[in-house]
A and B are shown apart, each in its own frame.
Chain A
């Protein structure tokens, strides 16, 4: 009976596979067609660009009407001819038929065409875009000649097509292996490996095409915009997820079986998981992919691990450089550890005190202590900064009152770090306090009663009841507290601002500077962010391992 149901499931799966594959193949065909067209057009435009001087000279000699025939071979619609007047203004003399057809078709366009051609003449030997068409202009002896291509908008980039090959390839091979390799055959492993290699190969191949498209083609033709990139990212994500899904399931019904077996928990998780997958994971993936690109002025160049090389290996050359990766990383770790310690120590002790039954005014106290969390930290961080001022800050005034000397807080790494630290402790302890207050409610009162009966001291109660009982409920807050402090941007940016000489910057402020203060170098910034991500992931992984081992020992 089991076998029968399994067989029917397999049949069902085959059906879905075929439908899905046909759909993908059709989609792929359309895209492939467009990609090929786009590619050939690119080549020809490239030729025109290369031979433009000759062609232009030909036009000078033979007149533009004859020459225009030659241009038509290369998908150019027509030739325009301009005479440069004084003061760099151009007089427009162009093919009247074309202009007429344009004015009849699209009145709005015609006035803009003037402008585009004007700009194109300004550009000199560069392509400019007009309404999905491209204009190539050439200036010779004060005259400007312009050519308009056929409409080539809405076609997809070759790189995008390459990624579709990847998807189709994966699915085809999966299909083949699914049909031909029997269940429980060792060959499955081999096939899976082949698919993996295939996937990697096409991933790399498509990225190379993307890189080439940027480097070799005429400016303006392949314009990989951000939206295109993100399309690519989404496709890669889909294909990778598909791949992972089928790789894990090894093309048998294991996946379906697991789904059925654990239906209830999966259903409980589904809504939240879907939201997270859509809105948290896709930005994350796009960020990781972005980190392989050099982004400059909105242009994207695939540079393999260039950014990582620069950050990790380049930073290695000068390890003590306060703006290098390793120093910043060191500061970030210390920053996180000290902060978490104080957040926990202060937050927890206040919570324990406030949790006392007989304490009066505890509601008032707890509201007072929540305030640093409630007020937007943009303003309070800056208030702390002004409190650290050398001549007029209240902290130095207090130091003078106590008989110390004034400190110039932000000219020394240690003191600047301390200033950041004080501010963040002030900002962060309320969170831990609230979390502890919540966690304390999970401790059953009868445990304490029993302890008192046994004659346990307060300290023993804390050590043997409160702490161990707090741990499971508080652990998530601590882990996340570490992650957030690791990425605490506002305090560093607003209080010390990385002073002196960038020595108090942490990784996240450095990533921010690359993205928003150094000409939108998103690729470099994304590489930083990815490194942060990997570091935190490793941290989480090792702590998991350690805690698992601890549990096993217990």
Chain B
């Protein structure tokens, strides 16, 4: 498979994991930036264990996942009890703090980063198996009582409380899951590019993911499957003769889409209409097939 297409798909998978990780707490009204610092921790742990300690990749994935999720869990304990702005700001601040700590931590290479991470054969299928798995998990959560509870939390916190939604518990659960997804994204990033620097997991990645999330439509989980491939493809395959204008085109695209369609490409209403149409079609077919009187 062409190396550039393989790289494109691997990074796309990583972006999708991050996008869903941001999406979940967002359904509950929280803007939690934990996936990013968990990504950093996961990436560095995986890199360190495979390159310097020499463990096999499977072991590295498990160790990184456990460590980063644990840290994500601890931070979510604090953040689940706070609201919107505070969670957003504090977790954003934490991204910078983690980056600064990594840059000063000589054991893991400080600002040089870690390079030469051993190759993981079969990375692409692994990434997509995990993506599909996570997609199923997110889908199940959305369409279960958890999803409804999250929706309630987002709309009106007090109402949710009176209805018996335990906000801290639910928030912590969702944020920890998001942290785990971020950790996996980090591990896969380390194995894909095989070279990591702390600045890779910093504010600019946050902005990129946010742009993809909002353009895709932040109220459904499917929007990111449209925006991520397109926005990432632009960066990569913009015609070389006008490469100077890549960023200007990208920025203009962001602006124009948000003006034309502020709710994102795939909006809640669009999905509801689609599902309603599918449901009505299946309702028309069913009685015909299942009528026993004939």
Answer whether A and B are interacting partners: no
